[in-house]
A and B are shown apart, each in its own frame.
Chain A
Amino acid sequence: MAKKILKTIAEPSFTAIGYVILFLLFAYTLTPLVWLFITAFNPRGGPYLEIPKEITLDNFIRVFTGERGTGGTGTAAHPIYMSRWIANSLFIGFATMLITVLLSAPAGYALSRLEFKGKDFLMTAILLIGFMPMTSKMLPLYRLGKILGLIDNLLGVAIVIASGTIPTQIWIIKGFFDHIPREIEEQAWICGCDYLATLFRVVLPAAGPGLAVVAFLSFLSGWGNFTVPLIMIYSEPLYPISLGLASIFVHNPGEIGLAIDYGSACALSVIYAIPPMVVYYIFREHLMKIRLGKIEIR
């Protein structure tokens, strides 16, 4: 009886608490972005949040036409290359995605299916191989890139970023392959299917969500990476957006730097945020299939 009363009181209040937490989480997630989106449409935006009197699309137009802003006598950078930066970032993002998926999926599958001595060691080694902080590796990486001719080369940037994402992606994809029952492919195999045909017809479709996660995460790391292009890219027409933004926002006190054109910088940032969302939208079905109503963890 007491249990029943407790239940009738507790369930709705749990839900209420759930909604409160949900609201707080929403506020925490979204408030910082308000400034970005408002300033992108503000003709005279500044570093802090202010509600504009009028709304304009000029900032976005400037990103693509490469005209100078009107505010101030001079701005830290003029947006001459901005549209190229977007193309470069897209290239790096998709190249990283392709390289990572093409290399880590087979490796993850092999590690999932093969049994050999020292497999645990190899798995741990793969995970730990890149655990030296990036900044410490800067000089060796630069020299290596120079030897291999990858300096000032977008493909080189993608390869180096991919080499950093591959270890964790191998682990993630291996987890997905582990979940695919071996019996499926063994049956197909016994039925006389060619081995590779089995892979493409049976295993790959089953690993779809895993591949989507890997593709999405590697696209993100390629698209958003700052350190690797900072080391390897020299020409402004080859900058990705991350480097470009760093050359627009000049904040260091005591150093030279003219006013920042916040409007076009925020517009570029908004544009910068869109492709990951599109890629997310494409993969969302695979990323998390919201069909498991049956799991209740509470």
Chain B
Amino acid sequence: MKRALIIVLVLVLLVGGIAAYYFLAPKPPEKVELTLFTKAGLWADFVRDSGAIERFKERMLKERNLEVEVKILTAPHKGYHEKLIATLAAGTVLDVFWVRPDMIPDMVEAGYLLDLTPYVEKWDEWGKFYEANKEMVTYNGKVYAVPNDAAIVMIYYRKDIFKKVGLPVPWQPKTWEDVLEAARIIKEKVPEVKAPLSPYYGGEIQIPIYSAGGTIYDPADGKFIVKSEEILFLFKVYYDAFYTYEVTPRELILEKWDTRKLFQEGKLAIMVDGTWCYSEKWGPGMAYEIPNREEVVGYAYIPGSGTPGAPDYVVAIRDYSWAIGANSKHPDLAFELLKELVKPDIMADWGYKTSHLVARSDAVIGDYAKDEFLKWNTEAMEKYGVAKPLALGARKYLSLLKETVEKELITAGKTPEECMEAFAAAVTKELGADAVKEKP
């Protein structure tokens, strides 16, 4: 009897001990692997060196007792998007990846992207992001990505040439006529300038539409605008630059001249281009270095059209963002990683190192905040930034617009009215008659 009792007692103690150990002792952390897909070289190096992944791992171990391994997958810069799309199309699981926001609508329709709306709603820092940048990753009212950086498109001008011909420095054109007029004066007085004006940057060709207070897409009925006063204004501006004022040689576009190099050599006086040029092309040690950059390179806002209802200035935003794959097995973990990747200090560091703008207001810190040029850019974006509408077909619409400008206007020399007709026909054919409309 006594012996049986002892045996029972030992057994109970044993079971209890094991149970206690099982419930009370620290659990060995569970192991999880996440994949992060970005461009090789600079981009992947930055993610590795920024410390974001270490912070994420530490936090996960502490908060969720998870041992997370982040595997960095890459593709070279050239061919990145092809590889990203092919990878997703083959059904491979990518947890976090680097994506260009204008691809978002098409990628959502193909079922590649996870809807992040429920995650950002619970994230207190989401409110810190600039409205325009948030707009650029929101499609059909849902958020599909988190902005990592931004850049704006502006007017660069050569201060030395401006001083030579007696134009004011600093210079801020109030209308597009001011821009064309300045270019005309330069053409007259400084013949060695091969091209006084480069009127657009290929990725943001739609800017004059916004200058005139127009838009390309009506979110109310989901239709693209193919004919309007503002679109006509765009063709007129470009027509004036190439033909009326003859301040832009057609070869600039037809021969794909390297505008950044021409600008460096002083053979191009005024150009529309993005933030990145200032450091990446003309900065110290870069391919087209301008030694006394601060004295030579001036920058200004792109003006409005001057007509009533038009904005004073137009600042077009471009950016890159992080998205999460729709087939991710650990979407909440992936989002936690994403939060670390866009922390203010990391974003400011990236912006300063690569001459890109930050996408959130609390990231204007450190070296980034001290840089004159970046400060000017950030303010411009905050004040005047407009986001391109994120709609299915917008990518096609804009590429058709560029095609029309280059084929009909520059190559064939058609009038603005004819160009608009051709453009409307091309968009209607490509997107369907129900997806487009005319604005009286």
Give the B-binding residues of A (Cβ under 8 A).
46-47, 71-78, 80, 138-139, 142-143, 146, 151-152, 230-231, 234-236, 239, 243-244, 246-248, 250-260
Minimal beta-carbon separation of A253 from chain B (angstroms)? 7
Q: Is the CB of A243 within 8 A of B76?
A: yes
Q: Is the CB of B77 within 8 A of A234?
A: no
A74, A152, A253, A259: which contacts B353 (Cβ < 8 A)? A74
Minimal beta-carbon separation of A145 from chain B (angstroms)? 9
A234 and B79 contact, Cβ closer than 8 Å, known pairs A76-B42, A247-B40, A254-B274: no
Q: Is the CB of A246 within 8 A of B77?
A: yes
B61 at the interface (CB under 8 A from A): no
CA distance A74 to B352 in the complex (A): 11
Give 20 A-B pairs besides A77-B42, A77-B45 with Cβ atoms closer than 8 angstroms.
A72-B283, A72-B286, A77-B40, A143-B90, A146-B90, A230-B75, A234-B75, A235-B71, A236-B74, A246-B78, A246-B79, A247-B39, A250-B77, A251-B78, A254-B202, A256-B280, A256-B354, A257-B42, A258-B354, A259-B285
Q: Is the CB of A138 within 8 A of B86?
A: yes
Minimal beta-carbon separation of B402 from chain A (angstroms)? 12
Give 6 nearest A-B pairs by CB, closest first: A72-B285, A77-B41, A247-B40, A246-B76, A234-B73, A247-B76
Q: Is the CB of A253 within 8 A of B286?
A: no
Most central of A76, A234, A239, A244 by chain B CB within 10 Å: A234
The contact string, 1 if C-beta is below 8 Å from chain A, for chain B 66-84, is: 0000011111111100110
Specify which chain A residues have a CB less than 8 angstroms from the CB of B40 in the assembled complex: 77, 236, 239, 243-244, 247
Q: Is the CB of A248 within 8 A of B285?
A: no
A75, A143, A252, A253: which contacts B258 (Cβ < 8 A)? A253
Residue of B with least CB distance to A242: B76
CA distance A239 to B72 in the complex (A): 13
CA distance A77 to B42 in the complex (A): 5
CA distance A280 to B281 in the complex (A): 41
Specify which chain B residues have a CB less than 8 angstroms from the CB of A77 in the assembled complex: 40-42, 45
Give the A-binding residues of B (Cβ under 8 A).
37, 39-42, 44-45, 71-79, 82-83, 86-87, 89-92, 201-203, 258, 260, 274, 276, 279-280, 283-287, 320, 353-354, 356
12 residue pairs A–B, Cβ–Cβ below 8 Å: A47-B287, A72-B283, A77-B41, A138-B86, A230-B76, A230-B83, A234-B74, A236-B40, A248-B41, A250-B41, A250-B78, A259-B286
Q: Is the CB of B90 within 8 A of A252?
A: no
Q: Is the CB of A146 within 8 A of B76?
A: no
Most central of A77, A146, A248 by chain B CB within 10 Å: A77
Specify which chain B residues have a CB less than 8 angstroms from the CB of A72 in the assembled complex: 283-286
Main secondary structure of the interface of B (DSSP, over half): mixed
Minimal beta-carbon separation of B234 from chain A (angstroms)? 19
B37, B72, B274, B280: which contacts A258 (Cβ < 8 A)? B280
A236 and B83 contact, Cβ closer than 8 Å, known pairs A46-B287, A139-B89: no
Specify which chain A residues have a CB less than 8 angstroms from the CB of B90 in the assembled complex: 139, 142-143, 146
Minimal beta-carbon separation of B186 from chain A (angstroms)? 24
Specify which chain A residues have a CB less than 8 angstroms from the CB of B279 in the assembled complex: 73
CA distance A243 to B42 in the complex (A): 14
CA distance A247 to B44 in the complex (A): 10
Specify which chain A residues have a CB less than 8 angstroms from the CB of B258 in the assembled complex: 253
Specify which chain A residues have a CB less than 8 angstroms from the CB of B83 in the assembled complex: 230-231
CA distance A143 to B87 in the complex (A): 9
Specify which chain A residues have a CB less than 8 angstroms from the CB of B82 in the assembled complex: 138
Residue of A with least CB distance to B73: A234
Q: Is the CB of A230 within 8 A of B287?
A: no
B86, B203, B287, B353: which contacts A231 (Cβ < 8 A)? B86
Minimal beta-carbon separation of A297 from chain B (angstroms)? 44
Specify which chain B residues have a CB less than 8 angstroms from the CB of A251 in the assembled complex: 78
CA distance A150 to B280 in the complex (A): 38
B87, B260, B283, B320: which contacts A73 (Cβ < 8 A)? B283
Most central of B41, B90, B91, B202 by chain A CB within 10 Å: B41
Specify which chain B residues have a CB less than 8 angstroms from the CB of A80 in the assembled complex: 45
Minimal beta-carbon separation of A46 from chain B (angstroms)? 7
B76, B78, B260, B354: which contacts A74 (Cβ < 8 A)? B354
Most central of A80, A259, A260 by chain B CB within 10 Å: A259
A47, A151, A247: which contacts B41 (Cβ < 8 A)? A247
CA distance A231 to B82 in the complex (A): 9
Specify which chain A residues have a CB less than 8 angstroms from the CB of B37 in the assembled complex: 234
Specify which chain B residues have a CB less than 8 angstroms from the CB of A257 in the assembled complex: 42, 77, 280
Specify which chain B residues have a CB less than 8 angstroms from the CB of A230 in the assembled complex: 75-76, 79, 83
CA distance A222 to B280 in the complex (A): 35
Minimal beta-carbon separation of B348 from chain A (angstroms)? 15
Q: Is the CB of B77 within 8 A of A252?
A: yes
CA distance A234 to B74 in the complex (A): 5
Q: Is the CB of B72 within 8 A of A255?
A: no
Minimal beta-carbon separation of B212 from chain A (angstroms)? 24
Specify which chain A residues have a CB less than 8 angstroms from the CB of B284 in the assembled complex: 72-73
Minimal beta-carbon separation of A117 from chain B (angstroms)? 40
Minimal beta-carbon separation of A246 from chain B (angstroms)? 4
Specify which chain A residues have a CB less than 8 angstroms from the CB of B92 in the assembled complex: 146, 151
Q: Is the CB of A73 within 8 A of B285?
A: yes
A259 and B72 contact, Cβ closer than 8 Å, known pairs A139-B90, A254-B202: no
CA distance A243 to B40 in the complex (A): 9
Specify which chain B residues have a CB less than 8 angstroms from the CB of A248 in the assembled complex: 41
A235 and B287 contact, Cβ closer than 8 Å, known pairs A247-B40, A256-B276: no
Residue of A with least CB distance to B258: A253
Residue of A with least CB distance to B151: A256
